[in-house]
Amino acid sequence: MWCRYSELVPDWQGATVEDFLSARVFMEGIRQIEKQYPQLPRLSQENLEQGGKLKVIRKWLSPLGLEAQVVRPLIDEIKQSAVASTKASDIDTQYQVVLKTLASSSFWAKVKKACH
Name the strand (E) or helix (H) holding 45: helix 45-48
Tens of pLDDT, residues 54-112: 999 999 999 888 888 889 999 999 999 999 999 999 999 989 988 998 899 988 888 88
C-alpha 82: how far from chain center: 10
Tens of pLDDT, residues 3-39: 788 788 877 778 889 999 999 999 999 999 999 999 9
Q: How many whole angstroms separate alpha carbon 7 and alpha carbon 13?
A: 10
Residue 116 DSSP one-character state? -
- Could you tell me the pTM of the whole model? 0.83
CA distances to 31, 58, 72, 82, 83 from 78, rounded to whole Å, are 9, 11, 10, 6, 9
CA distances to 32, 73, 77 from 37, rounded to whole Å, are 9, 14, 14
Domain map (residue ranges) of the chain: 5-115
Tens of pLDDT, residues 87-98: 999 999 989 988
Of the candidates 44, 32, 43, the one whose C-alpha atom is nearest the C-alpha of residue 74 is 32
